Amino acid sequence: MFIKPVSSLKGELRIPGDKSISHRSVMFGAIAEGITEVTHFLQGADCLSTISCFRKLGIEIENTPQKITIYGKGLHGLSAPDGILDAGNSGTTTRLISGILAGQPFTSTLTGDASIQKRPMKRIIAPLREMGADITSLSGNDCAPLKISSAPLHGIHYQSPVASAQVKSCLLLAGLYADAPVSVTEPALSRNHTELMLASFGANVTSEQTTATIQPTPRLYGQRIDVPGDISSAAYFLAAGLLLPGSELLIRNVGINPTRDGIIRVAKAMQGNVTELNARIVSGEPVCDLLVRSSELHGTEIGGSLIPALIDEIPAIAVMAAYANGTTVIKDAAELKVKESNRIDTIVTNLRAMGADITATEDGMVINGGRPLHHAVIDSHMDHRIAMAFSIAALRAEGGADIRDAKAVSISYPAFYQDLSSLEA
Ligand code: S3P
């Protein structure tokens, strides 16, 4: 898709629902008793993969434009799937559902697309086995397809080597079926949507600093959930509003959970004009409207415990850094290599093709910003976040850019290009 340069963006938009929260609403609703109703559910391909997996596990789910209704069958109500469960492109589906499947009295096989079949699953296989789970990688290389069979689960205290909400959530969900508490300590706090939402469904979950603990839980109860807008999707418009001269955008209803809001902190550190308005709580999650005005950005340093709070926004942040004055250093972000694409490679190669001064490092990148960028053919590697971040880079580049496999945006933001054109001043 060709993206032409634009002079500025103006107006208001409501971005789609949060991907992480949408996945969890279906999963927890399926294993709760009674009905769970979800509004502003993200109708992206990843979340639809979660719905299709739970339908295969015997759960009735109605999906209408107004709301999703999940007819939960309780912790022990899932039935053996007829056929292989397909998680598509979704790491969240694959890793979280594995925790639930480990506690079931039947065997399931779970796989996904070419990208999923390359992503590391040892990070869940090893601790699930420590709990007693019967889980094997059918490919023999610790990737999907995964075969998960019935086995009694025990409590553990797991010291996770990575700050990963997918690993933490997988183990907490398996903990629902264990005979003793399960606790997970991470090197830095990852997004805590599972802890917040599972507690609202009636689980006994507690958090202390970087440790989350779940007690054996007899039952969960269906809930009503209004999904906040996804800050990871807002990130592209935040970047565009800051980068394009004369822009002013009001991005409504953005989730600003402190485990997710790193991009706002970084935008402010880069001297971006970002204001949080109308702060409020929606379904237990902090939300606001973000007012963004074009700004002269400056380089910054990003690392340490801030990384998990902005890991999915690094493609957008790298684009901001390429247009900023001075140097931006991103470190402690080796996890970028195991996302939907190797995002250190895909960011560095594509920004360099547009004329940026950028160098890959072992755990991040160094960007000497301020060079004018120009047209290039961008290979998204079917990674939705690369497609969207480089569409934003194109808006200010001489000659725009051509984005290969721009359709990947359907993973998390099907209406991305419509929303973008609605804001062109
Ligand atoms: C997610 C956790 C993060 C994030 C992913 C969604 C989740 O992955 O990158 O897009 O919903 O739990 P990791 O847990 O691998 O860091």
213 lines ligand 1 (CB under 6 A): no
Cα–Cα distance, 184 to 206 (Å, whole number): 11
Output the CA 194–ligand 1 centroid distance in Å: 11
With 90 as the cut, is the pLDDT of residue 238 above it? yes
Output the CA 92–ligand 1 centroid distance in Å: 6
Can you give the pLDDT at residue 425? 75
Residue 289 φ/ψ, nearest 5 degrees = -105, 140
Can you give the pLDDT at residue 15? 96
With 90 as the cut, is the pLDDT of residue 394 above it? yes
How many whole angstroms from its chain centre is CA 13? Answer: 20
Cα–Cα distance, 2 to 25 (Å, whole number): 36
283 lines ligand 1 (CB under 6 A): no
Residues 6+ apart with CB under 8 A from 208: none
Ligand 1 atom nearest the C-alpha of 168 is 14
| pLDDT tens by residue, 178-213 | 999 999 999 999 999 999 999 999 999 999 999 999
Task: Give the global pTM.
Answer: 0.98
Single-letter code of the amino acid located at 121 = M
With 90 as the cut, is the pLDDT of residue 170 above it? yes
Cα–Cα distance, 30 to 409 (Å, whole number): 27
Over residues 400-417, the mean pLDDT reads 98
50 lines ligand 1 (CB under 6 A): no
With 80 as the cut, is the pLDDT of residue 136 above it? yes
380 lines ligand 1 (CB under 6 A): no
Output the CA 410–ligand 1 centroid distance in Å: 17
Residue-averaged pLDDT of the chain: 98
| pLDDT tens by residue, 298-322 | 999 999 999 999 999 999 999 999 9
20 lines ligand 1 (CB under 6 A): yes
Can you give the pLDDT at residue 365? 99
With 90 as the cut, is the pLDDT of residue 82 above it? no
Can you give the pLDDT at residue 319? 99
Please pick, among 312, 379, 383, 419, the residue that the annotation labels catalytic.
312
Q: Are 247 and 9 in contact (CB under 8 A)?
A: yes
345 flagged as catalytic: no
Closest-CA residue to 122 (of 137, 139, 100, 101): 137
With 90 as the cut, is the pLDDT of residue 363 above it? yes
